[in-house]
Structure 1
Amino acid sequence: MVLESSSKVDSLKSSTKKSKDVYIAVQLTLAMVFLAILSNFFVTVNAGERGVMMQFGKVQEQILGEGLHVIVPIVYTVQKLSVRVQKQEISAEASSKDLQDVFTDVALNWHIIPAEVNSIFQQIGDEKAVVDRIIDPAVEEVLKAVMAKYTAEEIITKRGEVKAGVDDSLTLRLVAYHIAVDDISLVHVHFSERFSDAVEAKQIAEQEAKKGEFLALKAAKEGDAKVNLAKAEAEVQRLLRENLTRELLERQAIEKWNGKLPLIVGDGSKNLLDLRKFVDR
């Protein structure tokens, strides 16, 4: 009897414990359901985002800024869009004014205009749709239009002007879709291999021509120098012939004489210096 009574007590305790566990589980479930329902009344818009308010799927004019907002669930839903600067890299092919193929790698920094997120979501969709439907096609079309205004050589020599043209045209085009252009870079502009080889050959030919012109100019200057030197020597000889008299030669000889008479063989009467006329002076 004692054992049977003890067994009933243990069974009762076990049943009570199970009941408490079930009760706690139910309470936790109800609390979670309540929090889940309550959370639907609040929307958090993170930094760098804007919230598009929709009433039964219809886009409203109200735009939710950053922070915590209270809404009526089921009636209202919120779509969040990033208004931060985003980077898009695009490769496009175009033709120059002289019908050369131009391959361009573009890096575009852009962002959705914060005050117009409701319009862009209503007309286009989220960020991926904006890139696929608007930005990529716009960049390709603008590049084709701008590159067609310049020859291949001008695209290289007037790169800054080409970039400014692309920037202005793209900015004007995208602002109509509620997108602002922050910056655009023509990262790499190259042409077909055939055209590149032709440009290289032209540069080599120009360098060789410049080298030939330099050598010709150098030779001409050297020739002019030789002619001038010859003219100078001839002038010196002429002056010597005109100014170098017998008396001057005799005077120079006496100035350099060391006092010894030279040994003269033959009739020296015509060759001896007349020292007396210099002594008399």
Structure 2
Amino acid sequence: MKPLNVPKNNQESQIAFKVILVLLCLALLSSFFAIVNAGERGVLMRFGAVQDTVLSEGIHPILPIVYTVEKLSVRVQSQEISAEASSRDLQNVYADVALNWHIIPTEAHRLYQEIGNKQAVIERIISPAVEEVLKAVMAKYTAEAIVTERGTVKAEVDQALTKRLQPYHIAVDDLSLVHIKFSERFREAVEAKQVAEQEAKRAEFVALRAVREAEAIANRARGEAAAQQLLQPGLTPEILQRQAIEKWNGNLPLIVGGEGVKLFDLKQLVETGQK
């Protein structure tokens, strides 16, 4: 007897059927397990109702159809938010805030039940909270104080925002006031004030220098007067005459009349007498 030859097309169909069957079995088997990746927590739901159990990282057996798992990241998330506020002296303040936050792992199921996924958390909770806290804190400080006491303002915003987000199962890791800007009119006023202060300091310096120079002249005059008082008792007519002779350059006085006409030359008279 000749061996029975199975058509090649039938063999390929059987192989494809077996592969599909294996894949279906694997898919069905995988539905009995939930894999929670690193940095995530699994929210367990029974027929859509959130359960109190929070699934940690790893593989967890579940009953398909009855239970489903929603995964939420509990890693630190970074969010940049721009907000506008007003200072105590009614100046417009424009601030860019960089916020680092994360979902509290043990409360992930409550957050999902009350708020939703990450996008809902940002839009409904974090952004409005940042804007409201900034407005409340900036209103306590003048525009100048916001600049000069930036560290204090940042710490107060951080503290207020932490307290505000805690009931929503969100923890604040860090907050930075990246940029703080004011209106163009306020910047011009600040520049004008700085120029005025510099001019005032310059004028104060000039006045102080004039006072010190006047004091130096007065002290010098007092010193000269004191020296004269000390020398006066010893200045006899003979001493004064001798000092005059020592300082004389040998030239006799010339007496000149009106319109430059020479009237009397003592030097010439002396020379004539000597001859």
Asked whether the two chains share a fold, i.e. TM above 0.5, the reply is yes
Q: 1:74 aligns with which of 59, 62, 65?
A: 65
1:204 is matched with 195
1:37 and 1:244 map into 2 onto residues whose CA distance is 130
1:97 deviates by 1.1
Q: Which residue identity lines up with residue 121 of structure 1 in the other structure?
A: Y
2:35 and 2:227 map into 1 onto residues whose CA distance is 102
The 5-angstrom pairing of residues 245-256 of structure 1 reads none
1:248 deviates by 9.0
Unmatched segments (≥5 aa) in structure 2: 241-275
1:22 deviates by 1.2
Q: Which residue identity lines up with residue 114 of structure 1 in the other structure?
A: P
2:107 and 2:239 map into 1 onto residues whose CA distance is 107
2:92 and 2:171 map into 1 onto residues whose CA distance is 29
2:148 is matched with 157
1:172 aligns with 2:158: no
1:243 deviates by 4.0
2:109 and 2:228 map into 1 onto residues whose CA distance is 100
1:77 and 1:247 map into 2 onto residues whose CA distance is 127
1:31 aligns with 2:22: yes
1:242 aligns with 2:213: no
1:188 is matched with 179
1:237 deviates by 2.3
RMSD: 2.1
The 5-angstrom pairing of residues 1-281 of structure 1 reads 13=5, 15-243=6-234
1:53 and 1:219 map into 2 onto residues whose CA distance is 84
Q: Which moved more, 1:46-55 or 1:240-249?
A: 240-249
Superimposed CA distance per residue, residues 77-103 of structure 1 (whole angstroms, 9 cap, x where no aligned partner): 100001111111111001111111111
2:260 is matched with none
1:271 is matched with none
SS in structure 1 opposite 2:7? helix
1:232 deviates by 1.0
1:234 deviates by 2.0
1:177 deviates by 0.5
1:162 and 1:243 map into 2 onto residues whose CA distance is 76
Q: Which residue identity lines up with residue 140 of structure 1 in the other structure?
A: E
SS in structure 1 opposite 2:97? strand
Q: Which residue identity lines up with residue 86 of structure 1 in the other structure?
A: Q
Q: What percentage of residue pairs aligned between the two structures are identical?
A: 63
Per the normalisation by structure 2, the TM-score is 0.83
2:200 and 2:234 map into 1 onto residues whose CA distance is 51
Q: Which residue identity lines up with residue 227 of structure 2 in the other structure?
A: V
Per the normalisation by structure 1, the TM-score is 0.81
1:179 and 1:225 map into 2 onto residues whose CA distance is 71
Q: Which moved more, 1:137-146 or 1:152-161?
A: 152-161
Superimposed CA distance per residue, residues 220-248 of structure 1 (whole angstroms, 9 cap, x where no aligned partner): 10111111112112212221223456899
2:198 and 2:37 map into 1 onto residues whose CA distance is 60
Unmatched segments (≥5 aa) in structure 1: 1-7, 250-281
